[in-house]
Structure 1
Amino acid sequence: MPELPEVQALVDFLSDRLTGAEPRVVTGVELASIAVLKTYAPPPDALVGLPVGSVTRHGKFLDLDCEGIHLVFHLARAGWLRWSESLPEKPIRPGKSPIALRVRFDDGSGFDLTEAGTKKSLAVYVVEDPQAVPRIASLGPDPLADDFTLEQFAEILGRKRAQIKGVLRDQSVLAGIGNAYSDEILHVARLSPFAMTTSLDEETVARLYDAMRETLVGAVDSASGKPAAELKDAKRAGMRVHGRTGEACPVCGDVVREVSFADSSLQYCATCQTGGKPLADRRMSRLLK
């Protein structure tokens, strides 16, 4: 699943190609999967003929603002954006490929939103106000916002007793962090994913805040300027522990361990994060909600 750094890279990638002194104009919106469209008014055709004014991000949501009509989409677990400098002229055929939506621009370029696998979660919205998308309206603060302070972070963690892994991933608490980067942040902060928020003292909260900002800023910088097609591989290559079960921890050399859940897993280093004690595989899917 693309998370904050990859989504920000896609924002920058699309901004470079669609906005500026001579913005690209939408010439077509082709829906190949009706299931991905979560709104009915305005219709997708309302975007046709409009220039792209800006491309922004709300957590993991991308937002193309075309003169007040917003094309908003969330790539979910298996979705992706595939850019083409020259799209085929032939319209896409529903159900014949992984393509769910195609957007065309006046210079012949455009992008497809694709989704692999059988579990379909890709979501597209056409709205006049992004806050009309319920999951955007309920987002917590952006962890990379200039005005998101350590004091605000500490206040958020103090609101309820919960495992820190789940708190970092909860989009209503912090917008944009998912399974992969929460693993990375906790490794940098030297914290167990099962640590309870109420057990964290001031020094630990500050260490976690710094680790969060450092990890995300580094990942954004690493992804910046890369073509959309390269972002997935770049994300995997940059991981320290996530997705590296059985490999050596890059900090201490201990083996990276895994805790599995119903449809996901987390990775951690026992030496760096849990005092050398392996975590029990509790299979509590609620941890990774």
Structure 2
Amino acid sequence: MDGFINVLKPPGMSSHDVVGRLRRILQTKKIGHAGTLDPGAAGVLPVAVGRATRLIEYLEATDKSYRAEVLFGLRTDTDDDTGNILETRTFTMPAEEMIESALEAFRGTIRQRPPICSAIKVDGTRAYTHAREGSRIELPLREIVIHRLTLLERRADALLLDVTCSKGTYIRSLCRDLGEALGTPATMGFLLRTRVGDFSVDTAYTLEELETVGSDAILAPELYLTHLVRYDLPTHRLQAFYNGLSTTVKGTESLHGPLAVYSEGVFVGIGICDGETCELKAKKVYRMIAHGNGKSDVFERE
């Protein structure tokens, strides 16, 4: 049982709760998730099983898509509708043209301040812990990218948006900041994550379905690593890759970051290519295939 499962997290459960449920369903402890969803949110939660847990970090860097409800005239201490109400205000929804003008300012590369109630660490302590203790902290701005921001529906006191964004984006902060741009408090209502990289809500399993499907829902990890550049390693360098030795790869001066490494059409692991020296080394060996002396094993090289 090694690979990824596309799970549809229900509202009301933490991401950790989902992992606990799957450990019972699959009868294994080696399970982890990528891209935490708040308990009140629903949607795609990629889960790794077995050896695939060592590949989670390569999922977390992918773009994500959401459907979000923005509630106007309301401010909370968590920037969503689960928090304590700090302010209410009478609000008249502006014309669609004004809303579109406000949305345009959030498209592309922007700087965003994460919500106080977040898991970001400040002086070694989670920000939400500081908030619960009443400490006044201001998290630094961070650069994010909003690839797509579409208005789906305009209501008397709320908007429905589709958002595609980079890693590190907080939809709660986007809702809060949109309210400020329109001159009123705003907070996030319902949130559905519709995509994480190649994981789509259309093919996600509910926990009830997984009770029946079980391990048949586990798919090969390479199916969800298509955002990484693929490199096909020559067969005669496969053992060197396993042993952590470098392979000179001509014509890769522009390659940086992790590569999905294949040999004879089989995914064998993650490699790091140094564009200056044209050398490829193993970062994580996921699978060893029979070669040369016929040895077959699985290990991880950090």
User: Would you tell me which structure has more strand in proportion to its own residues?
Assistant: 2
Alignment TM-score > 0.5, same fold: no
Q: TM-score, normalised on structure 2?
A: 0.24
Query: TM-score under structure 1 normalisation?
Result: 0.24
Structure number with greater Rg is 2
